[in-house]
Amino acid sequence: MRFVHTADWQLGMTRHFLDADAQPRYTQARLDALQRIAAVAREHEAEFVVVCGDVLESNAVGPKVLARTADALAAFAGTPVLLLPGNHDPLDAGSPLRALAAWPGLGHVHVLDTPGPVAVREGVEVVAAPWTSKHPTHDLVAAATEGLEADGTLRVVVGHGAVDELSPDREDPARIALAPLEDAVADGRLHYVALGDRHSTTQVGRSGAVWYSGTQEVTDRLETDPGNVLLVTVSDASPPKVEPVHVGRWAFPVVRAELDSAADDDALGRRLEALPAKDRTVLTLALTGTLTVRAGAALDDLLAAQADRLAGLQHWARHSDLVVRADSDELADLGVGGYADAAVAELSTLAAGDGPDAAAARDALALVFRLAGAAR
């Protein structure tokens, strides 16, 4: 029995670091990924698709997002799509999921609105652990799987949330206890646990049957290996076979570089130049090192040029430590002359120090370079 495991579509998501131009493209990309998931399902003759929570970014997404989601879901026609309400879109009174399932032409789309097993076909059950509020007070998966017997039925648990092994929050009453699930798998009561919440494709536990599929399209630079869906093959006898299939098109890479010379600038320039699909790339830079004012100005120019081409460019402040220093030769070369030389010297001293104006002084020096350059 084969099915597709995906989660955390979070349709309607906005990334604040994307500008007005990039955001619509990104939004579209997240929707477009659904087409590819549908293609994967068809291609591998998956019996159904489970979406393990957070189908929507929020219950408050507007009609436009819903309409476009419905359109995207239409691509799955012929393959049942089981939507699990997650923490972003809990099945409360404001949930648009039911409306989505009732959309004309989406007869293959179902909302897993009741905790517990539901038969997909003879001998195959999906055990749903839907979220009905944003703050569940117990382990929903444990509750949904309670009392199930090893009776030969193939069971796929569909849940959402952090498992206790991964969650640092011991006080969270909704943490999913992993060990009982693994026991159940070992006992043959359960056969696969499909989870949502982590955006990175992650296997947890030792059974090989408990997985987070990750989000279909990257959402954060911290994610490792996002943009996958899992093609899962379950049989009564053997552990499940899990194959990640990449469907994402965007990348949020982090580029770390130590810059100490104009040559380093150039090297970085080449690295950035080599980045593929810049319009689908949100770059995070973590730059360290010490640059001359001139090299610093050159870096600024370089980054300004790349920023225009990338979907987004961010500096990772916590991992950045780039110092721009003015050295005397450089200033002499600049040769602004007269009293300006003395002024530049003063700014250099200021920039080299760690006073409150040091940063402004470095910027002022860079400005001198730019203005003097323009003046010549």
Partner 1 sequence: MRIHRLVLDDFRGVAHRELVLPERGVVVLEGANEVGKSSTLEALDMLLTEKHSSRKAAVLAVKPVHRDAPSAVEAEISTGPYRFTLRKQWHSRPATTLTVHAPRTEQLTGDEAHQRVRDILTETLDQDLWDALRVLQDASPGAARADAALSGSSALAAALDAAAGSAPVDASGERAQSLHAAAAERAGQFWTATGRPTGRHRTCAEELAAARTEAARAREALDLLSDDADRHAELTADRADVQAELTVRAEEATALGELVADLAGRRERLAAARERSSAAARAAAEAQGALAVRRREAADLARRTAALDQDVARAAELGPAAEADEAEAVAAATAAQEHAAAQDAAAEAADAAHEAVRRATDRAALRRVRRRLAAVAAAADEVRTAAAAVAGLRVDAATVRSIEAADDTVRRLRARAEAVAARVVVEATAVEVLVDGRPVAAGTVAEHAATRPLSVDVAGFATVRVLPGADTGPVADELDAAEAGLRELLAAAGVEDVPAARAAHEERRAAQAAVDLARAQLSQLTADADADALRAEAERLAADLGTGPTTGPTTGPTTGEDDLPALRAAEAAAREAVQEKRSRGRDVQARAAALARTADGLAHELTALQTRLELSRTEVATAAERLATARAATGDAELERAAAETGDAAARTDAEVRALETDLADRDEATVLRRAREVQTALDALSGRRDELDDALVLLEAKLSVMGGEARQEAWDEAESRVQRLAEEQAGLERRAAAARLLLRTLDRHRDTQRRRYVQPFTDRLEELGRTVFGETFAITLDDDLRIVQRTLHSRTVAYEHLSTGAKEQLAVLVRLACATLVDPADGVPVVLDDALGHTDPERLKRLAAVFEHVAPTTQVLLLAPGPGLHTDLPGAVVLRLDDGPGEGSGPAVRTPAAAGASTG
CA distance 269 to 135: 47
- What distances in angstroms separate CA 218 from CA 199, 226, 296, one per listed residue? 8, 5, 31
Please state the separation of Cα 71 from the chain's center in Å: 23
> If you count them, how many residues does the chain have?
376
Name the one range near partner 1 by CB under 8 A: 16-24, 47-55, 144-152, 325-333: 16-24
CA dihedral 147, 150, 154, 157 (to 10 degrees): 30
Q: Contact at 8 Å (CB) between 83 and 100?
A: yes
Lay out the site mask for partner 1 across 108-137 (x = CB under 8 A, - = otherwise).
------------------------xxx---
Residues 80-109 that bind partner 1 (CB under 8 A): 90, 92-96
Among 16, 170, 270, 318, binds partner 1 (CB under 8 A): 16
Nearest to partner 1 of 65, 154 (CB atom): 65
Among 21, 274, 276, 375, binds partner 1 (CB under 8 A): 375
| Residue with Cβ nearer partner 1 (102 or 371) | 371
Decide if residue 152 touches partner 1 (CB under 8 A).
no
**# binding residues, partner 1 (CB under 8 A):** 53
Compute the distance between CA of residue 150 and CA of residue 152 in angstroms, rounded to an integer.
6
Q: Which stretch binds partner 1 (CB under 8 A): 157-165, 274-282, 286-294, 363-371?
A: 363-371
Q: What is the C-alpha separation between 94 and 354, in angstroms, rounded?
A: 53
Residue placing its CB nearer to partner 1 in the complex, 235 or 349:
349
Q: Is residue 54 a contact residue for partner 1 (CB under 8 A)?
A: no
3-state SS string for 102-166? CCCCCCCEEECCCCEEEEEECCEEEEECCCCCCCCCCCHHHHHHCCCCCCCCEEEEEEECCECCC
Q: How far is the CB of 150 from partner 1 (least distance, A)?
A: 33
Cβ–Cβ under 8 Å, residues 289 and 258: yes
**2-6 and 228-233 as β-strands: parallel, antiparallel, unpaired?**
antiparallel
Provide, rounded to whole angstroms, the least separation between the CB of residue 184 and partner 1: 29
Interface mask toward partner 1 for 276-315; x: CB under 8 A: ----------------------------------------
Residue 6 · residue 49 · CB < 8 Å: yes
Q: For residues 319-358, which are near partner 1 according to CB under 8 A?
A: 335-343, 346-347, 357
The correct pick among 35, 44, 59, 255 for binding partner 1 (CB under 8 A) is: 59
Q: Which two tokens stand for residue 9?
A: 């579509």
Does residue 23 interact with partner 1 by CB under 8 A? Answer: yes
Which of 60, 67, 102, 119 binds partner 1 (CB under 8 A)? It is 60
Strands (E), 189-333: 192-196, 202-204, 210-212, 228-233, 241-246, 254-258, 282-292, 312-315, 321-325
Q: Residue numbers of the site for partner 1 (CB under 8 A)?
A: 12-20, 23, 57-65, 90, 92-96, 132-134, 335-343, 346-347, 357, 359-364, 366-368, 371-372, 374-375
